[in-house]
Amino acid sequence: MKDKILNVLIALSALIILLSLAVIFIFYNPSSVTGHFKKELPKEQQTQALPSEALTPEAEALEEEDIPKEVEERVKELFPVIDTYFVRLKCGVERRSALVLKSIPSGKGVKLYLLTLYPMEWPFTKLELELGSFSPERVYLCGGGVILLEFNLRGFFPPEVSVGDVEDYGVLAVPRGSSIEVSVFKKGECKENGFVFNLAGDFAGVCFGGKFIGARELYEGAPNSCKIIYQSGRMEDGNLQG
């Protein structure tokens, strides 16, 4: 009798277990369970990276803009060299940087041509050098809107910059008052006004108004293809101010 009762209890227990498993199987929702655990995971573990062949257009653009490390290192190396190509102009409290584009022997002195991107009040503008300060003889407006200053000087002055061409990458030197900031220049991109040099340190052109003007064009055209906008003692030639 006891054996029969025990067998019945075992059978009932087995039936209850089977019924419980069946209910769990029928009403089980994997998404609700997974969702519960996702809430407990850090956010970065919930997002799966896209495979490389499924990159979004934005991600592809970022990859294309990656600049070679050796280019970035070269730009840093060139900064002290490029900085020596510039001299400083002063007008009152205003300070500007200008590039020594040409240095031509003339009699006992030299004609110095400086390239700048910014207008100033020319009658009050001075070139500051260790030997003293000097006023421009003439100021020209050249192609693309850049400005050329002419000085007649005696003594030893900074040599003119070497001219070359830029390939895929170069250096963009942007004047910030009387100082220069450099960054990587990518050919075809002129997002900021500044002077462009190649990775050999040669002057390659300027970015001005979103356009690139080649150094050879500027060098060969200065000053004959430029228009006089100021001449010392002759105010009728005009005075471009900013």
Domain assignment present for residue 3? The answer is: no
pLDDT level of residue 130 (50, 70, 90 thresholds): confident
Domain assignment present for residue 134? The answer is: yes
- Tokens representing 98 are 């200008």
pLDDT at 121: 95
pLDDT at 135: 96
pLDDT at 219: 97
What residues contact 200, with CB distance under 8 A and at least 6 apart?
164
Average pLDDT of the chain is 79
What residues contact 225, with CB distance under 8 A and at least 6 apart?
142, 143
Domain assignment present for residue 198? The answer is: yes
pLDDT: is 183 or 48 the higher one? 183
**Residue 133: CATH number of its domain:** 2.40.10
pLDDT at 42 over 80: no
pLDDT at 3: 54
Domain assignment present for residue 1? The answer is: no
Domain assignment present for residue 6? The answer is: no
Candidate ranges 55-64, 126-135, 153-162, 206-215; pick with highest mean pLDDT: 206-215
How much is the pTM?
A: 0.71
Give the domain range for residue 169. Answer: 70-237
pLDDT at 77: 97
Closest CA to 150 of 63, 232, 209, 73: 232
Question: Which range (6-10, 54-58, 118-122, 129-133) has the least confidence?
Answer: 54-58
Domain count, the chain: 1
Domain assignment present for residue 179? The answer is: yes
Domain assignment present for residue 21? The answer is: no
